[in-house]
Every structure is written in structure tokens, then in C-alpha cells.
Structure 1
């Protein structure tokens, strides 16, 4: 038999895992603006370029379309479990695969906001329930855009990955 096969195993700390690959790049509000060359004339009559001026790009509702796509996938993924209701705390893991140019252009927090907005009302009631957010942005080896989403309702039995992250702690005294 020829060809290469890969078997994926879902980490037991992740309750619901879903995603998609090979589509359009994940749009952000950051994408709505492009730099604008603007100048002013100083008191000596010289043109001086102004920094940090932007103009709005034509938006074809790409952010709304992505939110709807995420909601559609989340609806299917959460069909059995149902929406996670308050006061439950949630851990969300996001893995963004982007093309190299986009990796250098887009901020990870802007990518995250678009996806959390798409999950709200479908996977969980409100994104204020998210108490742990682990996000990764990388260039995929096949140079494709992809997104994988992991959502876990945090419980005494499943504390997620965030519980393992400790930046500081008490030192036991002798």
C-alpha cells in the first residue's frame, strides 16, 4: 500500500476538539485597515510624512462569515454535550496555522477574538466563562491556513492544561 497515513489521538485533557483546514485565512478586525501615506507641510514648507494613519479597507463581512463558520462547526461538535452554561469555567485551546506572510502580519490576540466571538452562544454562554486560554500561531509545513479548537469544561476531575502552568508558587520552608 502506498501513501502516508497519520493517526491522531485526542489528548484526554481536551473535552471537545474540532477544526478545519485549507480554507481562507482567519480574518481579524486588524485586517480591516491598511496604512495610509499622509503628509503635512511644516512651517518651512517641507512635506513631513505622518505616522500611524490608516484607512478602512472594503469589508465583505469576512469576520462575520468566519464567526458563522466557527459557530457552525461548534454546533456540530457540541451537539451531544450541549452549550456549557454559567457558572462553569472553561479552558479554550486555539491552534492557528497560517501562511508565512500572514504569520508576520497578524496579531495573535486579534485572531483569538474572532474565534471566541464565534464560540460564544454555541459552545459556551459567554466568553467571560473562559478562565484559561492557550493559543498557538505557527506556519504550517504544508503552507495552509487551518484552525483547531479545543474546549474543556473545567471540573475537579479535568483541570485542563492551564492548571499545569505555574509562573510562581509558594516555597516550602523547613
Structure 2
């Protein structure tokens, strides 16, 4: 069984622009997260050792979810590596609100490759130290995760046309 999920998406935009959309909160707030959800940035420090902490709330008025990224590597226009997890408002790790068996943390590696003015983004997601149950939950959710990222990347593709 594979130990990672891989999602590839090609944007009709230059690499520097796509990279900026991931590392500048004034861009991120316009496209990140589920469509139609309210998105608020609590902290955005895009550098190794920095964090991105945000909340998102469903349009139907459901509960606010907090998420935090901890950046370990950023190579301008080429690569972003971060650990992500659901958090409370203070940024402490909490269980995913949708499944108690979701891995507490995932390691995310994004690589940006430009070819003829288009940028291919490869996202690799690996659970960090999962239990057997968390591992099973993560991989049984492959389609949901893929759909979630594809929907978010569709929103970025639309945003980049502006």
C-alpha cells in the first residue's frame, strides 16, 4: 500500500505567480479552502519555522474549523514543505472535527514546475506517525482529499485569471 497521496494540477499561469498565491495571505484569502466558506487569517508567516493559522466556516453556518501549517522548507518559486493539522483558536493540535481517526498531522510537499508559461503543481501528502487506524482512515479518504484539493485548485485557477 502506498504511504502517500499525490495530487497534480496544472495552472495556466507562470510559476512565480502561482507560488505567490500560496505564500501571500492577500492572495490566499481569495481562493483557499472549500468553495463558499468564510476564511479568516489569524497569522501568516511564510518562512521556514513560520506558521499559517486560519479559520474556515461553512456557508451553512456550521462550526468554525481552525487549521495550522508549520513551514519547514520554502524554496522561492519551487517548493513549499509544511506540516498541517487541525487546531484550536490558540493553535494547539486537536482532532479533525469530521473524523476522530484522521491523522493528527500530515506532511505536505508542494513542488512548482513551469513549462511554456504553465505551472504544474505536485502536492504530496503523508500522514505523520499515524496509528494503524489513522493510516486506514487517511487512505480510505483518498477520493475526498483529492476532490477537496482539486476543488481548491480550481478556485485558484479561476482567481489567477483575474
Shared fold, TM over 0.5: no
Q: Quick check: which one's strand share is greater?
A: 2
Q: Which has the larger radius of gyration?
A: 1
Normalising by the residue count of structure 2, what TM-score does the alignment of the two structures yield?
0.26
**TM-score with structure 1 length normalisation?**
0.24
